[in-house]
C-alpha cells in the first residue's frame, strides 16, 4: 500500500487509490495532499501494524518509539479522505497486562496508536473506518477532521489530542481489561487549545462495550494538559483546556455516573497536579440517552440555544469549498 501511495503524482491534483481486499501488514504514511484511499469495506481491507511506545527503535538502541511514532497509519497532509477499511494497531495489550510486574517479558509503554491525524493536516475525512487498538487508539493531533460512521475500539484515553474532530454516527466501543479495575478506561483525553472552539464533538454516536466491561467503569473523558516546554520551564500546558462534547448520543451502562474525571499533570515546580474536569476543561452533553446517561451536577449540559453552534452542517461549512457532504452514507 505504501508503494502505491509513493507512486502517486506529487502535484496538487486530486488522486484516488482503490485498495483491493486483503490484510496489509505495514505502516502507512500519507504525505500527499488531495488524496483519497478507498478500501473494499471494513471487514475486507485491513491495515495492520504492531508498534508500541516502549518498543526499541532498533535492537542495539536504547531509544524507544514513544507514543507519537507508533501509528499504524499517519496522515500528514491536507484534504485526505479514507473510506471503507480497517486500521489496527495489533500490539497485544491484553497479553501484556496479564504478565506479572516482575516478568522480564512485560512491556513498559503500552500506548499504541492505530490512526494519527497530525498537526500538518486539515479537512481530513474518515468515512466508514474501523479503528482497533487499546490505549491511545486515535490521536487527533491537529487540524479539522470529520469521522462519518464506522467504529473506534479502545479503552484508556483512546480518542485524544488537540485537533478539532467531528464524529457523526460513530460507534465508540470500550474494550475489557485483563485485571480488575474500578475504572477500566476513558473515552476521551482532549488537549484542545483554548482558542479552538470545538475540540472533540460527538453527534448521534453510540457508546458501546465489548464483553467483560463492567457497569459504571468508563468516564466520558479527562483533561489532558501535555507537558510542554516554555521560557520559564517545562510543565503542563495551561492553554490546553480540553473540550469534549456529546450530543444526541446513546450511552450504555458502562459509562461512569460521574461522567468526567480529573487527570494529572506537571506543575511549574515539578510537583504533580490534578486538573479538575469541571473547572479546567470544557466538557458538555446534550440529550444523552441510555442507562449510562443520568443527568447530575457532575455532568454539565448544553442549553437548547448553545447546542445550535454544533450543527454539523455549520461546522463543516467552515471548511469552505472543500466541505464534504454531511450525514451517514454506508454505500
Task: Centre a 10 Å sphere on the Cβ of residue 81 and count the other Cβ atoms it contains.
Answer: 19
Q: Which of 62, 157, 232, 269 is catalytic?
A: 157
Reading phi first (left if > 0) and then psi (alpha if -120 to 50, else beta), residue 87 is in beta
- C-alpha 19/C-alpha 129 separation (Å) is 14
Nearest Cα residue to 225 out of 259, 267, 187, 172: 267
Q: How do beta strands 35-38 and 15-18 pair?
A: parallel
Would residue 103 show up in a list of annotated catalytic residues for this protein?
no
Exposure of 230 by Cβ count < 10 A (0-12 exposed, 13-18 middle, 19+ buried)?
exposed
Q: Which of 136, 171, 252, 269 is catalytic?
A: 136
Nearest Cα residue to 137 out of 99, 165, 98: 165
- C-alpha 55/C-alpha 52 separation (Å) is 6
Beta bridge partner(s), residue 51: none
Exposure of 70 by Cβ count < 10 A (0-12 exposed, 13-18 middle, 19+ buried)?
buried
Q: How do beta strands 233-236 and 227-230 pair?
A: antiparallel
Task: Centre a 10 Å sphere on the Cβ of residue 126 and count the other Cβ atoms it contains.
Answer: 26
- C-alpha 230/C-alpha 272 separation (Å) is 17
| DSSP H/E element including 97 | helix 93-98
Would residue 136 show up in a list of annotated catalytic residues for this protein?
yes
- C-alpha 101/C-alpha 287 separation (Å) is 43
DSSP conformation class of 187:
S
Task: Centre a 10 Å sphere on the Cβ of residue 123 and count the other Cβ atoms it contains.
Answer: 21
Catalytic positions are 136, 157
Amino acid at each position: 500500500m505504501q508503494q502505491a501511495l509513493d507512486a502517486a503524482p506529487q502535484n496538487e491534483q486530486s488522486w484516488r487509490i482503490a485498495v483491493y481486499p486483503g490484510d496489509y501488514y505495514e505502516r502507512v504514511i500519507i504525505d500527499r495532499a488531495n488524496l483519497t484511499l478507498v478500501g473494499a469495506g471494513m471487514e475486507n481491507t485491513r491495515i495492520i501494524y504492531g508498534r508500541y511506545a516502549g518498543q526499541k527503535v532498533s535492537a542495539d538502541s536504547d531509544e524507544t518509539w514513544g507514543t507519537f511514532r507508533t501509528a499504524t497509519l499517519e496522515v500528514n497532509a491536507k484534504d485526505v479522505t479514507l473510506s471503507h477499511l480497517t486500521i489496527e494497531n495489533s500490539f497485544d495489550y491484553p497479553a501484556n497486562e496479564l504478565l506479572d510486574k516482575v516478568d522480564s517479558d512485560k512491556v513498559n509503554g503500552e500506548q499504541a496508536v492505530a490512526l494519527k491525524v497530525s498537526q500538518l493536516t486539515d479537512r481530513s475525512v474518515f468515512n466508514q473506518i474501523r479503528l482497533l487498538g487499546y490505549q491511545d487508539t486515535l490521536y487527533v493531533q491537529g487540524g479539522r477532521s470529520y469521522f462519518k460512521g464506522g467504529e473506534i475500539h479502545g479503552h484508556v484515553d483512546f480518542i485524544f489530542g488537540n485537533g478539532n474532530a467531528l464524529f457523526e454516527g460513530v460507534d465508540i466501543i470500550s474494550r475489557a481489561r485483563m485485571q480488575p479495575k474500578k475504572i477500566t478506561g476513558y473515552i476521551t483525553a482532549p488537549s484542545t487549545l483554548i482558542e479552538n472552539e470545538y475540540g472533540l464533538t460527538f453527534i448521534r454516536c453510540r457508546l458501546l462495550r465489548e464483553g467483560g466491561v463492567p457497569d459504571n467503569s468508563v468516564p466520558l473523558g479527562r483533561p489532558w494538559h501535555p507537558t510542554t516546554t516554555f521560557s520559564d520551564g517545562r510543565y503542563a500546558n495551561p492553554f490546553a483546556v480540553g473540550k469534549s462534547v456529546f450530543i444526541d448520543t446513546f450511552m450504555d451502562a458502562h459509562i461512569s455516573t460521574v461522567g468526567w474525571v480529573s487527570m494529572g499533570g506537571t506543575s511549574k515546580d515539578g510537583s504533580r497536579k490534578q486538573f479538575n474536569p469541571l473547572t479546567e476543561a470544557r466538557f458538555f452533553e446534550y440529550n444523552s440517552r441510555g442507562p449510562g446517561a443520568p443527568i447530575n451536577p457532575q455532568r454539565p449540559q448544553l442549553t437548547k440555544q448553545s447546542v445550535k453552534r454544533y450543527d454539523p452542517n455549520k461546522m463543516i461549512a467552515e471548511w469552505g469549498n472543500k466541505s464534504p457532504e454531511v450525514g451517514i452514507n454506508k454505500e
